[in-house]
């Protein structure tokens, strides 16, 4: 005996648009849990780089998961990679896609262009989801005619290690869509939480103001970067200090989030911009990905 609802809703094939930091991680965990994945980006060169990153990450995962059976570990890497197809065309395998996850640049206009095009191309059963960090899901979905089959699926960096997925519903999201997204997150081995479409959902609404407060502390000269990070790691049990974490997330991403919220909520002091942050981004010091941010990286 099995439930017809769950088999009707089961997500087997996934298209991930954007193969950067987040999209490649999402494609990886979906493929590792037996989903057929199409991973899309703008150029073949980017896609090749992403596939290499996935392979490296899978090797780390497999070393841990199959530590007593290296042959099975090798097979796990090969099988997972074989479930990922790459393409520069967002509509490549759309006719067979049960779920489309968007993880492209954090820009409403660019996301709207993509979703408007895909809404026409995708079959009616395809669910759309955005991995946006800070933009309202309702506004992204408003460009489509499938708002009942639209939700947020917010993953965390690094996707293969972070266990949480925020599942965001808008008023139009159907119960069936929400259940499918929630179930899919579990199938990936993640723990889903249900969120409303409020700025930053749960995690970023708490984490981004905390990171910004640490930058303001540095700006006031209250403590050094190293001491702020050491303090929060050893005094509050965080795996990374707030400035290390800002470098890890990307200073451009952090700036984009805070600027967007400041524009919408100008009187909220927790959302005020920071000169140090603006200056680092202007000098292309974007954190780990550019080799320098609050810290220097090899």
Specify the stretch interacting with ligand CAA by CB under 6 A; choose among 79-87, 115-123, 153-161, 290-298: 153-161
**Mapping DSSP to helix (H, G, I), strand (E, B) and coil, where does residue 22 land?**
helix
The CA distance from 46 to 178, in Å, is: 32
Catalytic residue among 134, 204, 214, 274: 204
Q: Say whether residue 109 binds ligand CAA (CB under 6 A).
A: no
**Residue number closest to ligand NAD, CB atom:** 20
Under rule CB under 6 A, which residues in 183-222 are in contact with ligand CAA? 204, 207
End-to-end CA distance of the chain: 56
CA distance 17 to 114: 9
Contact pick of 116, 161, 206, 234 for ligand CAA (by CB under 6 A): 161
**Residue (11 or 39) nearer to ligand NAD, CB:** 39
270 interacts with ligand CAA by CB under 6 A: no
Strands (E), 118-190: 127-130, 150-154, 164-168
Give 127 or 249: the residue with its C-beta nearer to ligand CAA.
249
Cα separation, 83 vs 266, in Å, equals 46
DSSP 238: -
On whether the CB atoms of residues 134 and 140 are closer than 8 A, the answer is no
Active-site residue (options: 134, 154, 214, 274): 154
Residue 156 or residue 294: which is nearer to ligand CAA going by CB? 156
Residue 192: what are its φ and ψ, rounded to 5°? -85, 145
Helix (H, G, I), strand (E, B) or coil at 84: strand
Catalytic (active site) residue 154 = yes
Residue with smaller CB distance to ligand CAA, 12 or 60: 60
Query: Does 239 participate in binding ligand CAA (rule CB under 6 A)?
Result: yes
The C-alpha atoms of residue 121 and residue 180 are separated, in whole angstroms, by 21
**Positions in the binding site for ligand CAA (CB under 6 A):** 57, 60-61, 64, 133, 156-158, 160-162, 204, 207, 239-240, 245, 249, 253
Give the residue numbers annotated as catalytic, written as ranges: 133, 154, 166, 204
């Amino acid at each position: 005996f099995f439930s017809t609802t769950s088999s009707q809703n089961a997500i087997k094939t996934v298209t991930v648009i954007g193969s950067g930091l987040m999209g490649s991680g999402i494609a990886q965990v979906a493929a590792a849990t037996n989903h057929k994945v199409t991973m899309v980006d703008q150029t073949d060169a980017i896609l090749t780089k992403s596939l290499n990153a996935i392979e490296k990450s899978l090797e780390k995962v497999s070393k841990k998961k199959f530590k007593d059976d290296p042959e099975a570990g090798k097979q796990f890497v090969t099988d997972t990679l074989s479930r990922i197809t790459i393409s520069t065309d967002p509509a490549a395998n759309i006719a067979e896609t049960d779920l489309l996850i968007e993880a492209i640049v954090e820009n409403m206009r660019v996301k709207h262009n993509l979703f408007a095009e895909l809404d026409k191309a995708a079959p009616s059963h395809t669910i759309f989801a955005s991995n946006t960090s800070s933009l309202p899901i309702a506004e992204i979905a408003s460009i489509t005619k499938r708002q009942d089959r639209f939700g947020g699926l917010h993953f965390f960096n690094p996707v293969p290690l972070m266990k949480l997925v925020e599942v965001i519903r808008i008023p139009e999201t159907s119960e069936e869509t929400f259940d499918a997204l929630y179930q899919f997150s579990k199938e990936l081995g993640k723990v889903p939480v249900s969120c409303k479409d409020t700025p930053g959902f749960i995690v970023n609404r708490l984490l981004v103001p905390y990171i910004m407060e640490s930058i303001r502390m540095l700006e006031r000269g209250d403590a050094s970067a190293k001491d702020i990070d050491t303090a929060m790691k050893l005094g509050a049990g965080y795996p990374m200090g707030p400035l290390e974490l800002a470098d890890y997330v990307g200073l451009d991403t952090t700036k984009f989030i805070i600027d967007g919220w400041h524009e919408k909520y100008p009187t909220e002091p927790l959302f005020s911009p920071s000169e140090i942050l603006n200056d680092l981004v202007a000098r292309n010091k974007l954190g780990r990905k550019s080799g320098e941010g609050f810290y220097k990286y090899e």
